[in-house]
Amino acid sequence: PERETALTIEGLANQSVAYTRGTYYGEPFRLATDIHKVPVDDLEQGMKMLDLERVDAVLASDQLLFNTMQKAGWALGDFQLSVISHGQTGRLYMSRNVEHPEYENRMREALKTLRREGRLWDIFRVTAYERSSSDAMAFWYGQPIASE
């Protein structure tokens, strides 16, 4: 059902919000001390908790959100959705114990080429959501809406 609470950091004050353990969702979420943050192992666990009304909302990247929904067979229209942060960036990390450190520069150059040619966008975009991976965080809130 529709809720009156706004799907914003401020609107979710005093609400329980599931998020994937170990994931950085930006400074506004990190600094939000009035949100009850519930760490989950993966997004599917958070969605099940949402369905059981154990949490009020779930925070996730759009890529993970749509892939998880597709895998589980959930429809986008079953949830209230709000993008709360545009333009999150990703980082590629290389282990200090990597077997082939000589690949680092080749990887950097390949990523630059993919970004320049727009192919990086094609790899990470989600067709269900128009703006896709440049919009990194989404909340959904409340019980899934019953399908007819």
Q: What is the pLDDT of residues 72-116, one digit of tens each?
A: 887 777 777 766 555 555 666 777 788 888 888 898 898 889 888
- CA angle (111, 131, 139) in 5-degree steps: 105
Ranked by mean pLDDT, which of 28-32, 62-66, 67-71, 117-121 comes out on top?
28-32
Distance CA 121, CA 38 (A): 31
pLDDT confidence of 2, banded at 50, 70, 90? low
Distance CA 43, CA 117 (A): 31
* CATH architecture of the domain with residue range 16-89+130-141: 3-Layer(aba) Sandwich (3.40)
For the chain, the domains span 16-89+130-141
What is the percentage of the chain residues whose pLDDT exceeds 90?
Answer: 15
Residues 6+ apart with CB under 8 A from 136: 26, 61, 62, 85, 86, 87, 88
